Structure 1
Amino acid sequence: MNKQCIYIIDDNNHIGESIKFLVESINDKIYKIEYYQDPMRFLDRKLAQLQGCVIVDLFMPQINGFELIKKLRRENNFINIIVMSGNCSDSMEKRAIDLGAQAFFPKPFNIEHLLKQVFSMLANSQVISAKRAYT
């Protein structure tokens, strides 16, 4: 069984559930998918043990995406992070990347491009994990 998971974190239930539904429709149960409308519930997890990809919105109540990335990176340097935001600028994208995100998608985004990025990151993570296991 694959230990990798796709974590979707967005306070907008419509967006979060839509992404989850679309990922599930093409995922064929290869990866587990978890959606969090409350970013604090996501942060309650054992972050160091997470594997896979996090898709996170930048602007949410309680904690913004930048702070979430910082907390996640303090405990986990290996998980992939994709940021999405409806309010974006070049400086926000640069800050997200500098904090440890690998990709940035302005809303509205092309869902096919997002999914292609997610599955590419997950495939690369599996190769890296396999190499670590044999060294």
Structure 2
Amino acid sequence: MSAEPDQIIYVVDDDEALRDSLVWLLESNGYRVSAYESAEAFLSGYSAQWIGCLVLDVRMPGMSGLELFEELGRRRCTLPVIFITGHGDVPMAVSALKKGAVDFIEKPFSDRDMLGLIEQCLTTEREQRAKRRQEADTARRLAQLTQREREVLDLIVVGKLNKQIADVLGISIKTVEVHRARVMEKMGVHSLAELVQHVVSAEPASPR
């Protein structure tokens, strides 16, 4: 178990017995858990700041798990979602996977399978959160560049050498070197590879 202290597993299932057994399983393995009996109850307390993952029953009275999943998508929720399905719900779960759910697990499921999925989800969520932090930091640094520094950066990223950049911009190689040094400093990087990697990773990704 390698959950961060702030990562919580949110369980949404109208079946009280299953919900209680899941809470017991997860808490006894050291996870923090928050359980809800309905999609509506979960939404009423939901915060975009929550981190961890969501274990969600597909079929519930009132708002279904799929409807909740779609609503969270509209709210740009970043919690990875595992669906719990009955045998007849597999087509719905596959549809949810195509819309960005992490996985689904069929009832009855083994404790080991569920714990494996949870661990995978928490790892994914941590990595995605770190990536978003990096992208936000890169965007902030890019905004601090002058117009000329940005022009030099764009030419560096497409693989132009200092002499070529000087020719394109009509400036001296020495001036290019000065701008290049300032770009590296402002971007907080120590190598050309690191610079390119940060800039490329900050390019807008398509939403879920």
Q: If the TM-score is normalised by the length of the shorter chain, which range does it land in?
A: 0.7 to 0.9
Render the CA deviation track for 1:3-34: whole Å, top value 9, x for unaligned. Answer: 2210000000000110010000012xxx4310
**One-letter code of the match for 1:44?**
S
Give the direction of change, closer, same or farther, for the CA distance of 1:40–1:131 in structure 2 (3 Å limit).
same
1:25 maps onto 2:28 in alignment = yes
More strand as a share of residues: 1
Which structure has more RCO (C-alpha within 8 Å, separation ≥ 6)? Answer: 1
Equivalent residues of 1:6, 1:32 under 8 A apart = yes
Task: Provide the C-alpha distance between the structure 2 equivalents of 1:74 and 1:48, rounded to a whole number of angstroms.
Answer: 12
Counterpart AA for 1:36: Y
Q: What SS does the corresponding residue of 2:48 show, helix, strand or coil? A: helix
Larger Rg: 2
Aligned to 1:13: 16
Whole-angstrom CA distance in 2 between matches of 1:100 and 1:131: 17
Whether contact under 8 Å (1:83, 1:103) holds in the other structure is: yes
Residues 1:48 and 2:51 are matched in the alignment = no
Q: 1:101-112 to 2 correspondence within 5 Å?
A: 101-112=101-112
Task: Name structure 1 gaps, 5 residues minimum.
Answer: none
Aligned amino acid, residue 16 of structure 1: R
Q: 1:2 corresponds to which residue?
A: 5
The two structures, once aligned, show a CA RMSD in angstroms of 1.8
Q: Over residues 80-132 of structure 1, what are the superposed CA-to-partner deviations in whole Å (9 max), with x where a residue is unaligned?
A: 00001124354222212123211011111122111111112102322332343
Q: Is the 8 A contact 2:58 2:64 kept in 1?
A: yes
Is 2:129 the counterpart of 1:129? yes
Quick check: 1:117 aligned with 2:120? Answer: no
- Kindly provide the amino acid, as one letter, of the partner of residue 48 in structure 2: A
Cα distance in structure 1, aligned partners of 2:25 and 2:59: 22
Change (3 A) 1:5 1:76: farther
The secondary structure found in structure 1 opposite 2:56 is: strand
Quote the sequence identity (%): 30
Amino acid of the structure 1 residue aligned with 2:9: I
User: What does the per-residue CA deviation read over 1:33-74, in whole Å, with 9 as the maximum and x for residues that have no partner?
Assistant: 101012211011234222111001111111111101001111
Q: What is the CA–CA distance in structure 1 between the aligned matches of 2:26 and 2:92, rounded to whole Å?
A: 26
- The TM-score with structure 2 as length reference comes to 0.58
- Please say if residues 58 and 93 of structure 2, whose CA atoms lie closer than 8 Å, have aligned partners that are also in contact: no
Q: 5+ residue gaps in structure 2?
A: 138-208
Q: How many residues align?
A: 132
